[in-house]
Amino acid sequence: MIKNNPVLELKGLQKIFFPGTVNQRHILKNIDLKVYPGEFISIIGNNGAGKSTLINAIAGALKVDKGEIEILGQTITKTNIRKRANWIARVFQDPKLGTADQLSVYENMVLADDKQLSDYFKGYDNTKKRTQFASRLAALDMGIEAHIDTPVKYLSGGQRQALSLLMAIIRKPQLLLLDEHTAALDPKTSQTVMELTAQLIEQERLTALMITHDIDDALAYGNRLIMVQDGQIKLDVQGAEKAHLLKADLIKMFAI
């Protein structure tokens, strides 16, 4: 099968914290990875394995010491986090991080959709945009559309995380990074947001990397699974191989 060009390519990524000191820690050890359009990759691994460091490096929140990062064949290793936001969107574990507390749901969505930001504040009739946003909120089926003018701080954690997700994808990013984005939610809400995530990724044909500690979710969702151990990719499976993976086998691998 001929594959498209990768959306993301990591070449020999290395990160060492506190180099040259007694606290030196080699966290990313020569990571090579190609991520193709439409892939939805779960990333699992022990605490401290380097998963968030990897995501931070891709998003531009952290500088790497060695290696290259490419998006759609363009090297972005030295591109700052703001510019990378043109291609990369992110949803964090804490629902509070993806939205602005004091602003309404509508205002938050305006900021996320900031291409026409000036239009919104020039007093234009934004009825069309409001209707569009309301219908996208209604599609989430989390009751947020009824609160479109409510400050986000009054939403539940699940509603807020669903809104963060919608805001992250509103401009169709080339790459969506999900950093344990359901971990702070109760089990039922976590499952609702997880299903919503999978649905949106499929509908919008997004490419996504999702860190999770939930092995069941890592197995049930996405079409590829990566295990990071001690700063290296220890397992990388997709398709039928992923579908046949057993939870017990993965748990055994954690112990190695």
Ligand X SMILES: Nc1ncnc2c1ncn2[C@@H]1O[C@H](COP(=O)(O)OP(=O)(O)OP(=O)(O)O)[C@@H](O)[C@H]1O
State which residue, 12 or 48, has the beta carbon closest to ligand X.
48
CB of 50 to ligand X, least distance (A): 4
- The label of the residue with tokens 């001690």 reads 230
Confirm if 8 and 207 have CB atoms less than 8 A apart.
yes
CB of 211 to ligand X, least distance (A): 7
Q: Which amino acid is at 227?
A: M
**Pairing between β-strand 74-75 and β-strand 25-35 as defined by DSSP bridges:** unpaired
- The label of the residue with tokens 């003018």 reads 149
Q: CA-CA distance, 209 to 175, in Å (whole number)?
A: 8
CB of 157 to ligand X, least distance (A): 19
* Interaction site with ligand X (CB under 6 A): 17, 25, 27, 45, 47-53
State which residue, 106 or 221, has the beta carbon closest to ligand X.
221
State which residue, 25 or 34, has the beta carbon closest to ligand X.
25
State which residue, 53 or 161, has the beta carbon closest to ligand X.
53
Q: Which residues contact 235 (CB under 8 A, 6 or more apart)?
A: 225, 226, 227, 253
CB of 49 to ligand X, least distance (A): 4
Confirm if 181 and 165 have CB atoms less than 8 A apart.
yes
At 179 the three-state DSSP class reads: strand
State which residue, 25 or 171, has the beta carbon closest to ligand X.
25
Q: CA-CA distance, 59 to 13, in Å (whole number)?
A: 13
